[in-house]
Structure 1
Amino acid sequence: MSKISHLLEMIITLQYKGLTTAADLAEALEVDKKTIYRYINSLNKANIPVHTKKGRYGGFYIDKEFYMKPSKLSEEELQALLMATQILTEKNGFVLEKNLQTAVSKIKNICINDNEELKCLNETGFFRMNEIGNLQDLEDKISKINYAINRGRSISINYFSLNRSSLTVKKVDAYNLLFREGGWYIIGYCHMNNTVETFKLSRIKTLKVTEEIYMIPRTFSLKEYLNNNWGVFKGEKIKVSIKFDKNVSDFIKNGKWHINQQIEDQEDGSILLNLYLDDTEEIKNWVMSLGKYAEIVEPKKLRDELKMEIEQIYKKY
C-alpha cells in the first residue's frame, strides 16, 4: 500500500476512533512504529492537526474541528462504474482491468443519500439501505464499538447476510476496529459460529453494547489474522469452487447465484460452480444448507472451516 493510502487511513482512523496509540496504528497498517511517527510528522507538515498525548494512556488524536468527509456519488455514477467493470476488460483491449476492479471494490461501501432510501453497492449490485440499512449513523456505530472494545463488553449486532438476503442477530466480542480500502470492519469472535470473523459496518443495521464481559485471548494476533485474510481488505476476489451432485445440478444451473458465476459440467453428471467473492463468510452457511449434495473443492481454508464446523455438529448429536 502506498504512503498516501496509509496517510488517508490514518486521518480517517484518528478522526473517528479518537485517541489511538502508535502501536495500534502500526499493527493496523502493517508498518513499524518509526514509520508511524514519520507519517504523523508528514501530516503536521500538511497542516493536519494531529496531536500527541503523552503518558501511560497516551497516543495520537486529531482536532475535533477537523473533518474530512468523503464525497458522495450519485446512483447513476455508481451504476456507470459497475457497467464499466463489465465492459472494460482485457478481452476488449483494456489492459488496466484489474486496477479498475480494485478501484470499484474500494467504493462498495459508499452511500449516495442521507435518508432511509440509501442505496449501496455490493457484490451483486444495489440494495436498499432501509432493508439492510444503516439506521444508526456511522459515528454512532464506531463510538459504541470503541466503547465496547475499551471496556471489554460484547456487542449484539443485527447483521445482513448476503447469500440469505436476511438479517441475523449475532453476539460478537470485538477485538479490533479497522478502516481498510474505503470501509470499516470489526474483527472479533462470533459466538454463533465460534470463530474469529470480519464484519463490515455497512452491513450492520443495528448495534447494541451488552453487559457481558470478555477478554481478548493472548493467542490472537491482528498481524497474523490480516496475513491470512488480506484478500478481504485489499479488494482481491477469492475463488470458491463448489461441486454439486447430479441430483441438484439442474437446480443450480437454473439459478443465478452470483454476478460472476461460472458453471462447469463434469463427466459423472455433477457440476462445478465457480464464484469469485470478496469474502467467504456467508457461502459456508449456504453450502451447509444443501447438505450432502454440495462439496467445497477450494479454497482449502474454507473447506477446513466447514469440516471443523461439521465435526462440532456431529459431537452434539
Structure 2
Amino acid sequence: MTEKLIRLLRILQAIQANPGISAKELALKCGTTVRTIYRDLRILDRVAPIMNEGYGKGYRFIGDFAMYPLDFTEQEAMLFCMLPALVDTSKLPTEFDSAYDKVISAHTKLKTRNSEIVENIAGIIRMGIPAYREEGKDPNLLIPIIEAILDGRTIQAQYHTLTNNQITFRHIDPYYLVPRDQRFYLIGYCHLQQKVRLFRISRFLDVTKTNAVFDMGDFNITQYMKNTWSIDRGEEHIHFKVRFSEKVAPYIKEEEMFVRPRMTDLVNGGLLFEVTLNSSREFLMWLYQFGPEAEVLEPREYRRQIRKQLLVWLERYEDEEAL
C-alpha cells in the first residue's frame, strides 16, 4: 500500500513538472508498466483534475491545481534544473528523480502563475493605437516588457524610429514603464547607443526577453525626469510664469503633473502658475488647450512667440477663399 501511495504521488509530481508527459514516460519514471499507470491514473482522476489532451499528447492538470513541495528558494530550484545537464543522473540514487520532479513542479507552477498575473495586468491596460495601424493586429508587447522588468532581464527588440523611418534591432535593459496620455514609454539602457533612452511602446515591432541579467546601478528616475513636463527631455532651464483665469483655475489645481509647480491664488479667483522646465514644446502644447484663459507672462520671448503664432492662425482662418 505504501509503495502504491508513493507511486501515485510521483505520478502527480511528474505531471506537474512535465505537462504533456506520456503514460510510457510515467511508467519509466515510476518503474512500473504502462498498464499500471493507466490504472493509477483512473484512481487519481477522482481527486485531481488530470486531462489527456488526445492520442500521443500526454497528461496535464486542468486549471490551477498544483502540489507544492518544501519551501525551496529560487537558487535551489535553479540548481536542480541544471543538474541533469551537469551530471550523469544514471549514477545517482533513484530518489534524485523524485526530488527533481518536486522542485521543477513547484518552480514551473510558480512561473506559470506569475506569467498569468503579468498577462492579466497587461490585458487591462489600454493604450492608444497609432492611426496608421489596424486595431487588434499587433501583439501585446507589454507582457514580455513587464516580465523583463520584474525579472531584471535584458530584452531584444525590433524598434521603429520615426525621425529617420528606420527599423533597428536593439538590446535594452528595461528600467521603468511611464504612462503619458494614451501612450506608454519605456525608460531603459540602450546597448546600441550606450546610454539611457526613452522608447515609445507602440514603436516596438517585436520584443523578446533574454536570459541576460542587468543591474540599474545608481540610476534614479526622479533625477532623470527632473524638470521634464512630460516626455521630451531638454537641456534648457526655462522658468515659466502663467496667469490662469478664474474659469479654469480649479481644474489647473487638480491637474496631475510630473513636476512640482508653484501656484498662487489671485484676488480675482485666478491662479498664478510658475514652473521650471528643461524643454518648452510639450508645456506649450498643453497650455494652448486653455486658449485665452491662459496668459504667459514670462519669459517675454515665449509671450512674443505665442503672439506671432496667433497672428499666423488668424491669417490662415481669415482667408475664406482658400477653402
TM-score by length of 1: 0.33
Bigger relative CO (Cα 8 Å, ≥ 6 apart): 1
Q: If the length of structure 2 is used for normalisation, what is the TM-score? A: 0.32
Bigger CA radius of gyration = 2
